[in-house]
Amino acid sequence: MSTVDKQLEEIEATIEREVPSDVTITEVTYEGPELVIYTRDPKRFARDGDLVRQLASKLRKRITVRPDPAVLSKPDDARQQVMDVVPEEAGVTDLDFHIDTGEVVIEAEKPGMVIGRHGATLREITQEVGWTPEVVRTPPIESSTVKNVRNFLKQERNERRDILERIGRQIHREEMSDDEWVRITTLGCCREVGRAAFIISTPETRILVDCGDKPGSPDEVPYLQVPEALGAGASSIDAVVLTHAHLDHSALIPLLFKYGYDGPIYTTEPTRDLMGLLTLDYLDVAAKEGRTPPYESEMVREAVKHTIPLEYGDVTDISPDIKLTLHNAGHILGSSIAHFHIGDGLYNVAFSGDIHYDDTRLFNGAVNEFPRVETLVLESTYGGRNDYQTDQEDSERKLIQTIKDTIEQDGKVLIPAFAVGRSQEIMLVLEEAMREGKIPEVPVHLDGMIWEATAIHTTYPEYLRDDLRERIFHDDSNPFLAEQFNHIDAGEEERQDVADEGPSIILSTSGMMEGGPILSWLEHLGADPNSNLVFVGYQAQGTLGRRIQNGWEEIPVGNGRGRDTLTLKMGVEVVDGFSGHADRQGLENFVKTMNPRPEKVLCVHGDESSTQDLSSALYHDYNMRTFAPKNLETFRFI
């Protein structure tokens, strides 16, 4: 018998001692980080809300209770009973019963009403029918991504359960070494922006944090084949943690499955969905540009299937010696700061991912309250000594004025924007400005993945600011449903119609002008001196967006392959302040207000001068050890 089986036997014996004598436990198993208890008496657990909490406290594990399939009522009978319990105003749109696990997935327009105060309605459902309810939100804006992900996970439910059980046994295996050390190896993203990838290692565990590409340099991928990094290859990694879905952090995660990885990906639920959307588009763009995609779409599905979603603040075992907690990073939907608690209080490391320290229209600012952090791996995109962004209110005023001036001269405003985050931020600014009469009500055309990404935002309003969340709950005040927003879905023909019509605003991907429909818009509008190209996001070195910012006027066109050139006559404006990254002051404030402050800071995800400037400033101002590492360096902390 394995050590895990013995451990489960002991846990089951403990549970049987703790629960009332007439409660029957039929199976105890691990599924990923959770301990799953199957019982013939689910209604007893539902009636006693404290019983699960007491078991979780006693066993120090996350617990899910499910009914033994033998005691389940028939789905047809249970369906009406569930609907009798759930308030009609909840807007239930689907019920899906899974006999193998005793779960009923309830999709509703207002999931909070299905859950009830402190979970009261959920417990009532179990008391009535015995099934364990799981609640998901019906997207206020239909999202093909959310629909496809949910359907795929439903189809793969049995295989996914097998995967989770295998992962659970790995997490809860016995520790094999008495050694104590922590190492971080940099596989990318150091003294550069892009291809974020780090390995955090202990004697027991190897965790990969992010795995992205480099904008403008598709051949520069993380050093995934370096022996000291991956050892025996991708299969030697115990887990992957994804901070957020932007491609410079997520693009090559599916590649790991091509290399033989078969383990978990820990991230938030919206990041899982956005990763699927963005990586599939990444493959599509590569094919359209004549490049060989690094992996097939099947690998994207494998990545989604292996994802274990976590909520902010949940402390989760991901290996025998590491606990992970994700915290809001304020950058894009579902973006996270990853905090690793290593050993029994041995060491703590936090990876900032990309952060925005102050509140924005979309998100609350990044969290920096941790019980302990000895080492912080900190993004430095705007870490240079002069990288102070314009106040957002001033930025909004500049954008609004640019739009007014352009409309008055019968031109169009073309905004290259990241589909996730910046586009929705700009949409909120435009909706309010038109509603309050600050700019004329002209069409706002959304091209590329922007509408689909917006739909995903409305599916997960709990990750947005409180006031915006409340507006999304009501169709008549949902700002993303404003009538001026038009989703471009007819491609080139519709773009030509827009170009031939009167003044309008166009938001289009890609945000750094590296492929995507923005190149088509350049061909349509680039020669119009009455129109304006407005940059609202970071433009990395080597990208077409950065070159235009630096004064390029001869622009390659013809699907971006340089077969022809266009002389750019439209105006070019840069509006700082909308970036999803903290500026220099925000980065310093993030570190300054941490209590306690970290002993060491690794400044990454910025060009060489930015990382070195921030590293030097933190050292001099706060007397902490700081580093601006190069790629392929390894740091030992114990």
Q: Are residues 231 and 300 both part of a single domain?
A: yes
The reply to whether 545 falls in a domain is: yes
What integer pLDDT is reported at residue 559 of this predicted model?
53
pLDDT in tens, 167-182: 999 999 988 888 999 9
Same domain as 595, residue 552: no
Question: What per-residue confidence (pLDDT) applies to 431?
Answer: 96
The CATH number for 453's domain is: 3.40.50.10890
For residue 67 the two structure tokens come to: 């009914």
User: Do residues 567 and 609 both lie within one domain?
Assistant: no
Residue span of the structural domain in which 99 resides: 86-138
| Residue 35 counted as domain residue | yes
Q: Does residue 288 register a pLDDT over 90?
A: no
| Residue 593 within any structural domain of the chain | yes
Region 506-535: mean pLDDT is: 92
Q: How confident is the model at residue 565 (pLDDT cuts 50, 70, 90)?
A: confident
- Segment 357-365 shows an average pLDDT of 93
Q: Supply the CATH number for residue 44's domain.
A: 3.30.300.230
Task: Give the whole-angstrom CA distance, residue 75 versus residue 167.
Answer: 30
Regarding whether 457 and 407 lie in a shared domain, the answer is: yes
pLDDT digits (tens, 9 = 90+) for 48-65: 878 888 999 999 899 999
Give the single-character DSSP code of 235: G
Has residue 482 been placed in a domain?
A: yes
Q: Quick check: 91 and 84 in contact, CB under 8 A? A: no
Residue among 257, 268, 262 nearest 299 (CA): 257
Do 308 and 444 reside in the same domain of the chain? no
pLDDT higher than 60, residue 561? no
Query: What CA dihedral angle connects 59, 60, 65 and 70, to 10 degrees?
Result: -40
Instruction: Indicate whether 588 and 569 sit together in one domain.
Output: no
Of 457, 398, 393, 394, the C-alpha closest to 423 is 457
Average pLDDT over residues 186-191: 96
* Across 363-389, average pLDDT: 95
Q: Are residues 352 and 456 in the same domain?
A: no
Tell whether 260 and 302 lie within a shared domain. Answer: yes
**424 within 8 A of 454, measured Cβ to Cβ:** yes
Is it the case that residue 3 has pLDDT exceeding 90?
A: no
Do 277 and 378 belong together in one domain?
yes
**Dist. CA 583–CA 390, nearest whole Å:** 9
Residues 6+ apart with CB under 8 A from 50: none
pLDDT for residue 225? 78
Q: Are residues 197 and 131 in the same domain?
A: no
Q: Mean pLDDT over all residues of the chain?
A: 92
pTM for the model: 0.92
How many domains, the chain? 4
Clarify whether residues 49 and 106 are in a common domain.
no
In a domain, 177, yes or no: no
pLDDT recorded at residue 562: 46
The full DSSP string for 486-527 is EE--STHHHHHHHHHSSSEEEEES-TTSSSSTHHHHHHHHTT
- Tens digits of residue pLDDT in 467-520: 898 888 876 789 999 999 999 987 889 999 999 999 999 999 988 888 889 999
- What is the band of 560 on the pLDDT scale with cuts at 50, 70, 90? very low
pLDDT at 33: 95
Q: Measured between alpha carbons, how far is 271 from 269 in angstroms, rounded to an integer?
A: 5
- Which range, of 488-492, 544-548, 561-565, averages the lowest pLDDT? 561-565
